[in-house]
Amino acid sequence: MKMLLLLAAAICLASCSDPSISGVEVYKAYDRPTALPKQPSQVRVKVSTARQRVYVMEGSTPLLIMPVSVGTPATPTPHGNFRILRKVARHRSDEHGYAYSGQKTDRCFTNEIPSGWSFKGTPMPYWCEFKSGHAFHTGWIKHTPCTNGSIRMHENLAPKFFQLVKVGTPVEIATTQPEDSEYANIPLPPDAGPLPDYDPFYYIGDAYFTDHKSPSYD
């Protein structure tokens, strides 16, 4: 009996300390309340890079407050005033992705594709470009800056953001925003850094574009 109890305790300890067992499920369940605008032309987006927060506002009313991942100090997210230039729900990178041949895969840049291998660009669902080469898009959310300058959104929030903004929607990106003091302290998903990534063949297929909750709005 003592051995059984020790074994059960060891299994419990392993499951509690291993983020891959429950962390992914908790991460994938994350969501934030979202409201549709009464006047879509009045929607604007404000980004606080210091807090890694996005505030989608209609006037002074927040429609969506969400955590994001922004660029590192070496590859910072550009600051300034922009507008949404282009929206592509099923965007793939034309710079990097996955080369594959049979059961072999290799994450690489487009100029490194092995001869004779097929290639699919990295999927970046719900791409909302605000500057050439920079966009809001679905990606793993970490609690510290980690991107090459684009702004990653959680998979359940990206389709909501995509719905709220239009081509031409203003985007203001700064180190801080006035909204930080009132709205920044929101629940966060688990840090994606320690979580296991998906299998490369998952990204080669199309499942990543639709693997999210069905968007709901208040």
Q: Are 149 and 77 in contact (CB under 8 A)?
A: yes
CA 194/CA 73 separation, integer angstroms: 21
Q: What is the dihedral of CA 54, 198, 88, 44, to 10 degrees?
A: -10
> CB-based contacts of 55: which residues, under 8 Å, 6+ apart?
45, 46, 47, 48, 62, 64, 65, 177, 179, 183
Q: What is the pTM of this model?
A: 0.88
pLDDT at 209 over 50: yes
Q: Which two tokens stand for residue 13?
A: 């300890």
Closest CA to 105 of 197, 203, 206: 203
Average pLDDT, the chain: 91
pLDDT at 5 over 90: no
Closest CA to 109 of 118, 94, 96, 119: 96
The confidence score (pLDDT) of residue 13 equals 37
SS3 204: helix
Q: Are 185 and 63 in contact (CB under 8 A)?
A: no
> CB-based contacts of 201: which residues, under 8 Å, 6+ apart?
100, 105
Segment 67-73 mean pLDDT: 98
Q: Which two tokens stand for residue 159?
A: 């389709």
Q: pLDDT tens digits, residue range 79-131?
A: 999 999 999 999 999 999 999 999 999 999 999 999 999 999 999 999 999 99
